[in-house]
Amino acid sequence: MALAFSALLFLTAATITVVLCRQAAVNELGAQQHLGRSMLDALVPAVQHLLVDNDTADLNNHLGVVAADAAIASVRLTGPDGAVVVERVSDQEPADRLTKWLTFGTAAIRSFAADVAPAGRKLGRIEITLSYKPLNTSIGNVLRNSALVTLVLLLLSAAITYALLRRFTAPLHPLTEWAHEFSRGNWMPKVKLIESGSREIRQLNQAFADGSTTMRHYIRSLEETRELLEHSETRLRKLVNGMHEILFELDRDGRISFLNPAWEKLTGFRVEDSLGKPFGDFLMDEDAIRDFGGGVLARLHEKNREISLRTAAGKRLWVSLDADAQKDAAGDCTGIIGTLGDITKSVELNRLLSKYQDELYHLSVTDPLTGLYNRRHFDTQLEVILSDHLPKKRPVCLLLIDLDGFKFINDTYGHPFGDEVLRTIAGLLRQQVRRNDYIARLAGDEFAMVLKNTALDSATRIAQKLHAKINETRIPLPVGHIQLQSSIGVAAAPTHGKNSQDLVSAADVALYHSKQHGRNRIEVLSPDISKAMMSIFSQGFQLRSALEQGNIHPAFQPICNLRTGETIAYEVLARMRLNGSVIHAKDFITVAEELGLTRDVDLHVIRAALAHATQYQALFLNVDLSSFNDRDFVNELGALLKPACDSGRRITIEITERETLPMGDTLHEDIQKLRTFGCKLALDDFGSGYSTYNFLNQFRPDYLKIEGSFVRGMLNNEADRKIVTHIHELAQSFGMETIAESVENEATQTALREIGIGSAQGMLFGAPILAS
């Protein structure tokens, strides 16, 4: 600003100087012209006189004096004919450039002439030429003086301007230093700001001070944030490095860009060697390799997917994959981030468990003697067949086949021969059964054949053909042979029943009628089955009367430790007194199920058992699983068991599954509620009931009770022994205890101890004792 002001001042002064010099030049020029005219006017009379007198000497002298004047450059006198008479030249200095420039050509009028003509007679002509020297000198002096004055004024104005500017810009110096310090990153400069009367300067000072404070605050916040980030980064790095799962990142082409140390620990491949390689190189399954190809990565979204990796040793490593495609703001895939959790042991255990389950399932749904399906599978499969055929108007017929005199065969010729007879009958059924039909062994000598999409008359003909084939069969003996005979009951759905229970009951009644009418015959149930079913309702009346009169009593059978023989608990069983006889539960429980009285029987027996048993006796209380469908039953059972558990009594709820029931959330909550009281849970007849594996998986009981038929047959049948062993191993894998049922001799006890089973019950340890 000062320089601009000085330059402006200089231009102004220069302009004034030029104007003054021009004016001085014009004035000097006018003065000289006036002088030249005056001298010419004075010189003409004198020259005229001297010419008249013809005084040449004085004329020369006089003209010489005139030419000697500094302002005169030359004087010339010419005659009438124009010839030079006298000429005096003193100074011929030309006009310099400045003079020419300042006079703008005015300086060209420098000569003055006049005729000498007295009385009209021309004697000659005199000319005077002015000199440029006085004009050059005068203009130079004016220029020097003006320049000196201009310079002095310029210096003075510059000094004043600088002083003023310095005064007004003094507060800017600290601000400049602040800005300089700010540029170095110093947000706390030790420079004092100068107060100023200028509002703008004050605002600028305040802005710098506020900016410094704000930046210091931001810097402190950034430092704190950086420290937190460093801490978080360190912690995250420790977490990532300490993870048991593999954390990986892939680029958009499916190549590995990051791995944590768990990769090397689990796979054996070094992290440095694996980076940059395609992830698919470490996968073993083709479908997984395809999913990690570069063209499909953008769609990748996996949750708990089982895949297998190839380890450095060439083994298969099973892992659980969680991975998602990462995308930028434009929606383009940038890569994959995911985790791989080692589930090898879990997969191998599940496969082993699945294998055991398949084996156990096969053993549990088939009859080990004949290879046919058993009663458990039959009950489930018959319901499936009916639900598939009846809605499509396709009839289903059921044949129940019972060998006549089989008890006599067993008692007379022994069980091995009886087993051979059963295997023979099974072979005959296989020969006669059609491709889509179904056969099973229901009990000792009772078999079933389900004929799909078959009318009653066709089923009757098939039954007749089968009956004839059985009658033709001879089993050789050491001496002679045995001719087999059978009774067959035939029922049809939906004519005799629309569900499995009704259809089986109908066929059972037909079989009963066949035996009642002389055996070795076929009986087709009449459409009117009401009379045949009256016996069930009669038995139901007796059961209700027994409940009302208190003739249902608990019986206590000991459960003993196989190693020490000590009684560890008592199972509570139901018994009914009728006309002086004691009836076992198996003889009336079916009627209770038919009439919906199982809940009443269970609650009555539990209530009586808690009243009769002493406080220190641990009790296993049987509860039918279907009773849990009744909310009143659940509330009454809880009201009975909670006070007993609170008083310190050890109670185990023994669940009996007699039919397939859905395992809903309500059932799960009810059983968990009983467990919160302190009750334990046992699953009865494991291996022959309904949905036992489903129950086992959902409720994890404390005890598994091995079904007695397997225990009784394990000494003579290797399949039964395998079932008992598998059930015990399965229980151990879930942390459960096993209790063997129906132990009747010391040989069975010894075999159970060899397997590792800890507890058992049966006639060897004591029969059920009826409460007095």
The CATH class of the 7-130 domain is alpha beta
Per residue in 291-327, pLDDT tens?
887 678 888 888 888 899 999 998 889 999 999 988 8
Q: Inform me whether the pLDDT recorded for 107 exceeds 60.
A: no
Q: Inform me whether the pLDDT recorded for 619 exceeds 80.
A: yes
What does the pLDDT read at residue 298? 82
Beta carbons within 10 angstroms of residue 164's beta carbon: 12
Distances (CA, A) of 552 to 168, 547, 556, 577, 585: 117, 6, 13, 7, 10
Contact 558, 766 (CB under 8 A): yes
What does the pLDDT read at residue 199? 72
What does the pLDDT read at residue 538? 56
Per-residue pLDDT band for 448 (boundaries 50, 70, 90) equals: very high
What does the pLDDT read at residue 644? 92
What's the CA gap between 687 and 680, in Å, rounded? 20
Beta carbons within 10 angstroms of residue 208's beta carbon: 18
Distances (CA, A) of 134 to 93, 139, 649: 10, 8, 148
What number of CA atoms fall less than 13 Å from residue 597's CA on the CB side?
Answer: 23
**pTM greater than 0.85:** no
Count of H-run helices and E-run strands, the chain = 24, 26
Q: Inform me whether the pLDDT recorded for 249 exceeds 50.
A: yes
DSSP string, 137-177: HHHHHHHHHHHHHHHHHHHHHHHHHHHHHHHHHTTHHHHHH
Same fold, 243-349 and 372-527: no
For residues 453 and 588, which has the higher predicted lDDT (pLDDT)? 453
Helix axes 530-549, 598-612, angle to 10 degrees: 30
Pairing between β-strand 124-130 and β-strand 301-310 as defined by DSSP bridges: unpaired
What does the pLDDT read at residue 108? 46
Following CA atoms 492, 496, 499, 505 in sequence, which dihedral angle do they give, to the nearest 10 degrees?
Answer: -100
What's the CA gap between 272 and 679, in Å, rounded? 56
Percent of the chain with pLDDT strictly greater than 90: 31
**Entry field: residues in the chain:** 772
Distances (CA, A) of 563 to 733, 749, 753, 759: 21, 10, 7, 8
What does the pLDDT read at residue 618? 95
Q: What is the mean pLDDT of residues 40-49?
A: 78
What does the pLDDT read at residue 172? 65
What's the CA gap between 76 and 66, in Å, rounded? 11
DSSP state of 374: -
What residue type is assigned to position 62 of the chain? H
Percent of the chain with pLDDT strictly greater than 70: 87
Q: What are phi and psi of 746, to 5 degrees?
A: -70, -30
The yes/no answer on whether domain 545-770 falls in CATH 1.10.20.10 is no
Category of 467 on φ-ψ map: left (φ > 0), alpha (ψ -120 to 50) or beta: alpha
What does the pLDDT read at residue 145? 78
What's the CA gap between 408 and 685, in Å, rounded? 29
Which of 271, 257, 261 is CA-nearest to residue 240? Answer: 261
Per-residue pLDDT band for 54 (boundaries 50, 70, 90) equals: confident
Give the helix ranges, DSSP H, for 324-405: 344-365, 375-389
Per residue in 566-578, pLDDT tens?
999 999 999 988 8
Question: Which residues are CB-neighbours of 20 under 8 A, at least 6 positions away?
Answer: 142, 146
Q: What is the mean pLDDT of residues 698-722?
A: 90
Pairing between β-strand 72-78 and β-strand 84-89 as defined by DSSP bridges: antiparallel
Q: Inform me whether the pLDDT recorded for 400 exceeds 60.
A: yes
Question: Which residues are CB-neighbours of 168 under 8 A, at least 6 positions away?
Answer: 198
Q: What are phi and psi of 154, to 5 degrees?
A: -65, -45
What's the CA gap between 446 and 457, in Å, rounded? 22
| Tokens 């009986």 sit on residue | 523
What does the pLDDT read at residue 586? 81
The CATH classification number of 372-527 equals 3.30.70.270
- E strands present in 413-460: 438-441, 446-452
Burial class from Cβ neighbours inside 10 Å (0-12, 13-18, 19+) for residue 621 reads: buried
Domain boundaries, the chain: 7-130, 243-349, 372-527, 545-770
DSSP state of 305: E
Contact 125, 78 (CB under 8 A): yes
- SS3 string, 694-751, reads HHHHHHCCCEEEECHHHHHHCCCCHHHHHHHHHHHHHHHHCCCEEEECCCCCHHHHHH
What does the pLDDT read at residue 121? 77
Instruction: State yes or no: cis peptide before 494, omega within 30 of 0.
Output: yes
Q: What are phi and psi of 573, to 5 degrees?
A: -115, 155
Average pLDDT, rounded, for the chain: 83
What residue type is assigned to position 553 of the chain? H
What's the CA gap between 514 and 511, in Å, rounded? 5
What's the CA gap between 57 and 76, in Å, rounded? 15
Q: What is the mean pLDDT of residues 154-182?
A: 70
The CATH class of the 243-349 domain is alpha beta
| Tokens 């001496």 sit on residue | 479
For residues 121 and 712, which has the higher predicted lDDT (pLDDT)? 712
What's the CA gap between 759 and 711, in Å, rounded? 13
What's the CA gap between 531 and 539, in Å, rounded? 14
Beta carbons within 10 angstroms of residue 144's beta carbon: 11
- The H or E element containing residue 594 is helix 589-595
Distances (CA, A) of 121 to 79, 87, 118: 12, 22, 5
| Tokens 């000590």 sit on residue | 566
Q: What is the mean pLDDT of residues 525-535?
A: 55
Three-class SS state of 477: coil
Three-class SS state of 652: strand
Minimum mean pLDDT range among 486-490, 526-530, 739-743: 526-530
Per residue in 740-760, pLDDT tens?
999 999 999 999 999 999 999
Q: What is the mean pLDDT of residues 243-247?
A: 84
What does the pLDDT read at residue 616? 85
What does the pLDDT read at residue 556? 95
Q: Inform me whether the pLDDT recorded for 630 exceeds 60.
A: yes
Q: Inform me whether the pLDDT recorded for 134 exceeds 70.
A: yes
Minimum mean pLDDT range among 195-204, 411-420, 485-494: 195-204
Per-residue pLDDT band for 584 (boundaries 50, 70, 90) equals: confident
